[in-house]
Amino acid sequence: MNYHKKMEDIIEENKKNNIVPTILLHSCCAPCSSHVIDVLSKHFNITILYYNPNIEPYEEYLKRKEEEIRFIKEYNNTNRLDIIDCDYDNEKYHELVKGLEDCKEGGNRCFKCYRMRLEYTAIKAKELNYDYFGTTLTVSPYKNSQKLNEIGEELENKYNIKYLYSDFKKNNGYKHSIEMSKEYNLYRQNYCGCIYSQRKNEKEEQ
């Protein structure tokens, strides 16, 4: 499935009908969101949902959140762009991945984390009457875009709220996010967010 093409088709259909829909867009951090917002802001009224209970330590979570807020304030958007801040929910994350602590990075533990954040976004989008929900996670070459889109499609059907399919790494999306991070002087972390990815990164650096 070409998820990037599927997203472009959705955008073109809305343009043809002179519609600028609303989207509740889950974001993990400012660097990843930069390219995604740059792509979508011309076609959507965007609300960023900062829901990332996997990020540790708490100081790191706050640092990434503050950078997200700063980027949104500084970015010269075409349509509406704002943010919803959420509860940390870190204990809920650890309960969710219990027994998968030693799982390989990019495996079942990560899939559960994808689902947790996407499902929260879908529920909130439905509750607040957004037209779409989506995520910035597909911009990263370290995230499984196929799995993310499969989860998104499942949640679309479960909650009857449209999911914006995506593969934002296409057309040098990840490279563009790095360039935008330099332009806006954004803090770029060196690990995904959870303590398990942090430990893996520290081992590799030794």
DSSP state of 197: H
Q: Is residue 206 scored above 90 in pLDDT?
A: no
Q: Give the pLDDT of residue 205.
A: 54
In this predicted model, what pLDDT tens digit does every residue of 110-135 receive, in sequence order?
Answer: 999 999 999 999 999 999 999 999 99
What is the rounded CA–CA span in Å between residue 36 and residue 138? 9
Identify the three-state secondary structure at position 71. Answer: helix
Q: What is the pLDDT of residue 144?
A: 96
Report the distance separating Cα 93 and Cα 79, nearest Å.
33
Name the band, by pLDDT with cuts 50, 70 and 90, for residue 104. Answer: confident
* pLDDT tens digits, one per residue of 2-49: 999 999 999 999 999 999 999 999 999 999 999 999 999 999 999 999
Encoded tokens for 113: 């984390």
Domains of the chain: 3-205 (3.40.50.620)
Rounded Cα–Cα distance for residues 101 and 206 (Å):
21
**CA-based R_g, the chain, Å:** 16
Are residues 3 and 165 in contact, defined by beta-carbon separation less than 8 angstroms?
Answer: yes
